Structure formats: C-alpha cells, structure tokens
C-alpha cells in the first residue's frame, strides 16, 4: 500500500466519522448530509400526493437519483475508511465488521430501494416508501437517538422477556374471548385468530370499540383483561425509561471522572479542556449540565495537608494535592 493511501483514508475517516477532529470542511459535509436526509424524507412524503407527483415526477426522480449517488458514495467511503477504526485488524476484516454494524446497515437500507427498483421494473409503491429508511441516518448525527438505540440494545433481554409475556397474555385473552363470545358473535369471535384483534386493542388499552363483548361473562372477562392490560402495556415503556435514566447517569459519571482527572493538578489546561469538550459533545451532555458537574467536582475537592521531610524538614505539597477526595 502506498504511503499516500493511508493518509487519504485517514482524512476520509475523520471527515465522515469524526467531524470535530477533521478539517473545517467536515462540519460542512455533516450539515449538508443532514439537510439532504431531511429533504429526502420530505420528498418521499410529497410523492404520496398523486397530483403533486404527477406534475413534478421528473424532478422527484432526478432528486432521488442525485441523493442515491451521494448516499452511495458516502456508504462506500465509510466502508473504505472503516479500516481506520481498528488499525490492528486486517483492513478487510475491519470493513466486514463495520458493514455488519447497525449504522452501516441503515446506510445500506437508505440506498437499497433504488437498486431494487432497477431489478423490479414494475412501479412498486412499497419501494418508494422504503426510502423513508433514510430518516434513520439521522441517528448518526443525533446524540439523543444514539442514546435511545443504545438503551434498547442494552435492555434487549428485558424487552424480549416483556414482549414474551405480552404475547402469552394476548393468546390467553384471545382464547378466553373466543370461549365466552363465539356463540353470541360468530363473526367477530368465531375463532381464536379473529379474537386476537379484540385482545390486542384491549391489552394495549386502546379499545377502538369496533369489537366488544356483549354477553355478561364476556364483559366480566373483558374488564379483567382491560385492567391487566393497563399494567402490562406499560411494562416495555418502564424498562426503556429505567434503562435511559441509568444510561444518562453513566454518561454523566464518565464526564465527572474526566473532570476529576483533569483537576488533579488544580487546573484544567487548554489540551485537557479540548478533550473534555470533545467528550461532552460525544456524550450529548448539555453545556449547563457540564458546568454544573464541574462545579460539583470543584466543591468536592479536599486539599491535602502539606508533608514534611523527616530528614531535612522541608515542607512540600503531595502530588495531586487538590485532587478529588
């Protein structure tokens, strides 16, 4: 590999993956990609208006081709530059590992509908709607969305258990509704699969009212399922809320520890300040919250007493004299 190639790859990596460390143009590229993603989502929504799409079909198609060309180039550049993520690994293995990552799969899904449309020559409305996957590319640029998806990955086991319980309750509710209502309402409760619609809307406490029990026993059973659904439908939301709070606490603790390390010598120099600011942006922590954490760390600093040498009597301050206690 020529010496020029790793330099170009490193520049491409910083340009796309770390705009804060790359050249000034990296921030411009980042903003341009965000605006292009938003414009694509708006275009897909407007294409569903028949009169608007019929009168501006050529413009919509040209914009889609331009977007796919840019997103495809971005995807290929990210895959090529992903070897910089893990320099110790062979470049091919590092790239394959990156291609299996969630963000890379989102980037692929953003361009896949266009190429599928070339294979399936018929005008498939579904392929056009699938372009809405491009909105998930904003996850890369939004700390809030990154936190949410991170929490979902961390709590995947608990969420799977909660949805398993909900599935069991759904089958139980549909079976019970079928047993008590199928004779009175054979059209709505004539089978367990048919009763699952009522069970689903009741367990989720939506209750559209299009299908309701009419027998006394059915109403009693329906009331029981409704009360049960109030608690069970909130279970996944509670898991995510708890995981989100824990995730945010860990992020703030990480920033707090960095402040403590930086203040071991009593001050934060320019380089330490830059590193902490970079970390703050990566963690998605508000400046006001970061200042509050810094003030808290300063208040908790405990000055260490001076030490006296037993031989010469010289008094000196121990290393990290103003470190956090």
Asked, for residue 218, whether it belongs to a domain, the answer is yes
Residue 312 host element (H or E): none
Are both 207 and 162 inside the same structural domain?
yes
* CA dist 228 → 165, 193, 199, 238, 295 (Å): 12, 20, 11, 16, 47
Give this prediction's pTM: 0.61
**pLDDT for the residue numbered 324:** 39
The half-sphere exposure of 299 on its side-chain side, counting CA atoms within 13 A, is 6
Query: What CATH number corresponds to the domain at position 56?
Result: 1.20.120.350
* Residues of the chain by 3-state class (helix, strand, coil), percent to 5: 75, 0, 25
Last residue in a domain, options 233, 264, 279: 233
Give the per-residue pLDDT at 322. 46
CB 98 within 8 Å of CB 107: no
Q: Is 259 contained in some domain? A: no
Identify the burial level of 137 via C-beta atoms within 10 angstroms of its C-beta, where 0-12 means exposed, 13-18 middle and 19 or more buried.
buried
- The answer to whether residues 130 and 215 belong to one domain is no
- Check whether residue 39 and residue 97 sit in a common domain: yes
Mean pLDDT of 225-243: 81
Out of 26-30, 51-55, 254-258, which region has the weakest mean confidence (pLDDT)?
26-30
- 238 domain-assigned: no
Can you tell me the mean pLDDT for 211-217? Answer: 87
Contact 41, 128 (CB under 8 A): no
Comparing CA positions, the residue from 71, 133, 64 lying closest to residue 102 is 133
Do 124 and 9 belong together in one domain? yes
> From residue 310, how far is each of 100, 223, 303, 313, 315 by CA, in Å?
62, 82, 21, 6, 10
Which two structure tokens, joined as six digits, stand for 110?
A: 């953003």
Backbone angles phi, psi at 315, to 5 degrees: -100, 130
pLDDT top residue among 126 and 92: 92
Residue 29 has pLDDT above 80, yes or no: yes
Structural contact between residues 213 and 221, judged by C-beta atoms closer than 8 angstroms: yes
What digits encode the pLDDT tens for the residues 99-127? 888 888 888 888 888 887 777 665 556 66
Max CA pair span of the chain: 101
The parent domain of residue 48 ranges over 4-140
Is residue 23 over pLDDT 70?
A: no
Q: The CATH number of the domain where 213 resides is what?
A: 1.10.287.70
Using the 3D structure, point to which of 186, 206, 233 is the last residue of a domain. 233
pLDDT tens for 48-70 read 888 998 898 899 889 989 999 99
Tokens of 85: 């993520």
Cα 152 from chain centroid?
8
DSSP state of 185: -
Q: Is the pLDDT of residue 25 over 50?
A: yes
Q: Hey, is 101 helix, strand or coil?
A: coil
pLDDT of the residue at 69: 92
pLDDT score for 305: 55
> Within a domain: residue 260?
no
Residues with Cβ within 8 Å of 117's Cβ and at least 6 positions away in sequence, in order, are 124, 127
Q: What pLDDT band is residue 320 in, cutting at 50, 70 and 90?
A: very low
Annotate 250-298 with DSSP letters as a single string.
Answer: HHHHHHHHHHHHHGGGSS--HHHHHHHHHHHHHHT--HHHHHHHHHHHH
Nearest 5°: phi and psi at 308?
Answer: -115, 130
C-alpha to C-alpha distance for 49 and 143, rounded to whole angstroms: 33
pLDDT at 5: 63
114/190 same-domain check: no
| Overall domain count for the chain | 2
Between 156-181 and 143-154, two packed helices, what is the crossing angle to 10 degrees? 70
Average pLDDT of the residues of the chain: 80
- Do 36 and 121 lie in one domain? The reply is yes
In 3D space, the residue among 246, 275, 247 whose CA is nearest the CA of residue 259 turns out to be 275
User: Given a cut of 80, is residue 156 above it in pLDDT?
Assistant: yes
């Amino acid at each position: 590999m020529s010496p020029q190639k790793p330099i170009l790859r490193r520049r491409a990596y910083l340009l796309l993956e770390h705009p804060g460390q790359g050249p000034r143009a990296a921030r411009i590229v980042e903003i341009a990609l965000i605006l292009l993603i938003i414009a694509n989502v708006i275009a897909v929504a407007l294409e569903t208006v028949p009169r608007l799409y019929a009168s501006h079909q050529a413009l919509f198609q040209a914009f889609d081709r331009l977007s796919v060309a840019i997103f495809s180039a971005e995807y290929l550049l990210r895959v090529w530059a992903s070897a910089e993520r893990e320099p110790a690994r062979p470049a091919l293995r590092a790239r394959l590992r990156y291609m299996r990552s969630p963000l890379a799969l989102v980037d692929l899904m953003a361009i896949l509908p266009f190429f599928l449309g070339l294979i399936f020559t018929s005008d498939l409305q579904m392929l056009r709607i699938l372009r809405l996957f491009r909105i998930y590319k904003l996850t890369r640029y939004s700390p809030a969305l990154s936190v949410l998806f991170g929490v979902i990955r961390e709590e995947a086991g608990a969420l799977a258990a909660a949805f398993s319980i909900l599935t069991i309750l759904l089958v139980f509710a549909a079976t019970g509704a079928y047993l008590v209502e199928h004779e009175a309402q054979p059209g709505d409760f004539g089978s367990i699969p048919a009763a699952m619609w009522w069970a689903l809307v009741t367990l989720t406490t939506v209750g559209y009212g299009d299908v309701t029990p009419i027998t006394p026993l059915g109403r009693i059973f329906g009331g029981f399922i409704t009360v049960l659904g109030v608690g069970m439908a909130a279970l996944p939301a509670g898991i995510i809320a708890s995981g989100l709070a824990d995730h945010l606490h860990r992020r703030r603790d990480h920033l707090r520890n960095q402040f403590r390390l930086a203040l071991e010598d009593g001050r934060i120099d320019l380089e330490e300040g830059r590193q902490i600011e970079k970390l703050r942006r990566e963690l998605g922590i508000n400046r006001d919250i970061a200042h509050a954490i810094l003030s808290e760390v300063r208040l908790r600093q405990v000055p260490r007493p001076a030490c006296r040498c037993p031989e010469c009597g010289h008094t000196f301050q121990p290393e990290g004299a103003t470190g956090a206690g």
